[in-house]
Structure 1
Amino acid sequence: MWFLGIGVALFGWQWYKLGPVYNWTWEQLGWVSIPFVLAVLWWSWADWSGYTKRKAMEREDAQREARIEKHREQLRGPRR
C-alpha cells in the first residue's frame, strides 16, 4: 500500500508542478511508475504466497478471541 501512496503522491506533484518533482519532465516520470510496478509485484507475491489469506485469518482469530473474552467477562458478572 505504501508503494501505491508514494506513486500517487509523485504523480500528483508532477501533475500540479509541486514539490521535489517540479522540474522533472514527463520523460523522467518513468521513475514515478516504479512504485506502481512495485505495488503490483507486492500484491502478486502476497496473493501467490498466501500472505494475504494468512493475515486475514489472523485478524479473524483475534476478533474471535476478543469476542470470547468479552463474553467470559460478561458471564462472570460484576466483582464485589
Structure 2
Amino acid sequence: MWMLLIALLLTVLRFLEVGPLAQLSWWWLLLPYGLTVAWWGYADASGLTKRRVVEQEEARRQKRIDRQKQALGTQRRR
C-alpha cells in the first residue's frame, strides 16, 4: 500500500510541477504503479494476503473467546 501512496504523491507533485519533478518524464512516474501491481500480484499468488486475513480472523476469534471466559469467570487472571 505504501508503494501506491508514493506513486500517487509523485503523480500529484509532477502534475503540480513541484521542484525537480517538473522535468521528470511521465514514464518514470509509471514505475511505482508497475511495482505496486507486481507486488499485489505476488502477494495474491503466494497466499500472503490470505494468510494475513486468516491470522487477523484468528486473533479476533481468540479475543472473543477470552472475553467470554472472563465474563463467565472461568479464565485465570494474569
**1:9 counterpart SS class:** helix
Q: Amino acid of the residue matched to residue 60 of structure 2?
A: Q
- 2:15 match: 15
Q: 5+ residue gaps in structure 2? A: none
Matches within 5 A, 1:1-80: 1-22=1-22, 24-25=23-24, 28-76=25-73
Q: Which runs of 5+ in 1 are unaligned?
A: none
Q: Aligned-residue CA RMSD in angstroms? A: 1.5
Task: Provide the TM-score with structure 2 as the length reference.
Answer: 0.86
- How many angstroms does 1:18 deviate by? 2.3
Between Structure 1 and Structure 2, how many residues are aligned? Answer: 74
Give the match's secondary structure for 1:17: coil
Q: TM-score, normalised by structure 1?
A: 0.84
Identity %: 36
Aligned residue type for 1:9: L
| Aligned AA (2:38) | L
Misfit runs of 4+, over 6 Å: none
